[in-house]
Structure 1
């Protein structure tokens, strides 16, 4: 996926009251997967309806065509209950949630970490695991997801 396409989608969503969570591109199928939310959503499922996905799908489809970005398929959905945390603001907004982190390169010998998100401080993701607080540099966070609570 090109940076141009991701920037185009992010700007389009922001201008229409949505937030881009993730964009995946599957080259073999020429498929864009776009995960959206509302900037004030807490859990992800509480704000995005099927109608939102249809609206965003139409907007993104028109924008990709106008920009001559080749694709065959487009999927738009909510981030789900195991939503990705993809920017510093997400780590602030979802403080108190249980999360899983993949750390690359490893930091302090840690490759994976699961615990309660305390927040985001001084370019570090702060996670409490069994009473121990870990401060992981944001640049080392390869992947972060909320762990669903049932």
Structure 2
């Protein structure tokens, strides 16, 4: 995935803090102009079945604010936003693609592939270096992660059903743990 040098520097600063809190960095994004930009930090629980609530976002925001104030990677004032990836999450790491095998995604490439930048299709396979996307036209493309500028899951009935099933399984497991 394409990130700026400043976003990479910020990621190096915030990753250890998130890990100590039991979370994993999904994405760092600095958006807006030179005056009062917004720093978006997206994180998720390290546990596969973990749920991230508003309180978690607030705790992360407080912890990261302290570290970022000391390290001061952004010269101007900025707004810090902390969020979870959500259902139609961005795909930023090889493991995101691997875990999303079989699901629909929108992909933007830079440089373009055969003159085309944007693709929509189903993720068929993934490894550490590339993934296979079956396009809406039925073509299978082998895409290197280095060529991806943006990737995001498409919110579909299938994705909603999968999320509901995972949530129900997590609730059942939690109830079983409480009764033991």
TM range (shorter): 0.7 to 0.9
What are the within-5 Å matches in structure 2 for residues 16-55 of structure 1?
A: 16-26=21-31, 27-41=34-48, 47-55=51-59
Instruction: Classify the secondary structure of the residue corresponding to 2:61.
Output: helix
CA RMSD of aligned residues (A): 2.1
Query: Partner residue of 1:62?
Result: 66
Instruction: Classify the secondary structure of the residue corresponding to 2:35.
Output: helix
Alpha-carbon deviation of 1:40? 4.2
Q: How many residues align?
A: 147
Identify the structure with the greater helix proportion. 2
Using the size of structure 1 for normalisation, the TM-score is: 0.85
What are the within-5 Å matches in structure 2 for residues 1-150 of structure 1?
A: 1=6, 3-26=8-31, 27-41=34-48, 47-70=51-74, 71-121=77-127, 123-130=129-136, 131-150=138-157
Structure 1 unaligned runs (5+)? none
Alpha-carbon deviation of 1:15? 2.5
CA pair 67-137 structure 1, distance change in 2 beyond 3 A? same
Larger radius of gyration: 2
Cα displacement string for residues 8-36 of structure 1 (whole angstroms, at most 9, x for unaligned residues): 11222122211111122234214311111
Instruction: Classify the secondary structure of the residue corresponding to 1:79.
Output: coil
Using the size of structure 2 for normalisation, the TM-score is: 0.72
CA pair 39-134 structure 1, distance change in 2 beyond 3 A? farther
Identify the structure with the greater strand proportion. 1
Instruction: Classify the secondary structure of the residue corresponding to 1:83.
Output: coil
Contact 2:101-2:123 within 8 A present in 1 as well: yes
Structure 2 unaligned runs (5+)? 1-5, 158-180
